[in-house]
Amino acid sequence: MTAFLDQIFVRGKQTLLAPIAHAPSWLVQIVSSLINIFALLAVFLTLFALISVLERKILARMQNRYGPNPFGLFQPIADGIKMLIKEDIVPARADKLVHFLAPVLIAAVAILTLGVIPYGRNMTPFAIDGGILFFFAVGSATELAVFMAGWGSNNKFSMLGAMRAIAQMFSYELPLIIAVLPVVMVVGSLMPDRIVAAQAQYTFGLVPRWFVFTPWGAAAFILFFVSGLVESNRTPFDVPEGESEIVAGHMTEYSGFKYATFFMAEYLGMFAISGLGVTLFLGGWHAPAGALEFLPSYVWFFAKLSALLFVYIWVRGTLPRTRIDQIMNLAWKFMLPMAFACVIAAAVWHYAGRGLRGWLWSLVVIAIVYTLLSILLDTRRKFAPRVYRFAE
């Protein structure tokens, strides 16, 4: 029964493909890909609608207010109807083709990145050898879409917001990618399924051997998570959409369904980066203890994904927006050196035998680099509150 529930969606797909089992292989491959795409869209669009309500309710709870009522169940429907019937306004001097393609491209990129993540046992929509490389190669097109939105709008606020977004996204893509390198080095593969398989063991059948429980893995996961906040344009790094400063950033001249597409792509990107974090550091679809393996694998994946999404919302309800100079200082002066330190610590852990000795030596490497950076940067002075002086 447990095996049946675990593979119920795989069996369902096989049932749908059964009528064309004797058709040409190319036709079977196309139909299989279409089933995967529709399944991805169904799951994550539903999750998008759900989290749009849950985020408001959670933030309302943190801020001692009610939020959408009754329970906000009809909020996604109301938002969808509003966005569909709202007037689509395009500036007269805008580049209409670029203005139209920007939200389409950014949504397509977010959906493509979701296709290489293993959601359960035998449940990777598109299992390719270079899945991690594909994720970052496709995801880098987000910067192009953001720049297209700012440039095509022919608006100074939009262009300023786009340049802010590109500056911080370029800056944080480096620590994001470098934080992934230790995992790829240790596993020896760019395939997400093999990375998940490398974290399948348990110590004494209880403690999982996830990479996040190693010193280099814990540090790399924190760097990955913070970089993911920036790439997803989430608080406290939502400078490109600083409403009190530049209206709405690169989305200033968008309305109606185009604006909703940007909004949806932001959440889909958050799902993708969180799903990749679960795959790389949190054991993917494996249970947190050997005794809990009886639950379906996809249940554990989405439980971990939900936990990370809750932290995203928690951070938004807790921290204020940072200044752009603080964001850049953090990326280039602290996160980038720490990401390289994680690579060295992972190598030390590997060559020291991956046991207790390797664990301790990698901890020493991380601690030394962190201490040196803290002394050299002198954060108390660098990030002290500014004193503004005005002319009389």
End-to-end CA distance of the chain: 79
Q: What is the pLDDT of residue 214?
A: 93
16's CB contacts (< 8 A; 6+ apart) are: 31, 35
Q: What is the pLDDT of residue 322?
A: 83
Q: What is the pLDDT of residue 244?
A: 60
* Look-up of token digits 């249970």: 287
Tokens of residue 118, six digits: 């293993």
9's CB contacts (< 8 A; 6+ apart) are: 39, 120, 123, 298
Neighbours of 257 (CB within 10 A): 15
Q: What is the pLDDT of residue 382?
A: 57
| pLDDT by 10-residue block (mean), the chain, 392 residues | 81 87 86 91 91 89 82 80 84 88 91 92 88 91 89 85 86 93 93 93 83 94 93 82 67 86 90 94 89 88 94 90 84 93 94 89 94 80 65 60
* DSSP letter (8 states) at residue 208: E
pTM for the whole structure: 0.90
Neighbours of 87 (CB within 10 A): 6
Q: What is the pLDDT of residue 69?
A: 77
Q: What is the pLDDT of residue 309?
A: 94
Q: What is the pLDDT of residue 243?
A: 60
Q: What is the pLDDT of residue 112?
A: 92
| Cβ burial, residue 95 (10 Å; 0-12/13-18/19+) | middle
Amino acid found at 58: I
CA 85 distance to own-chain centroid: 30
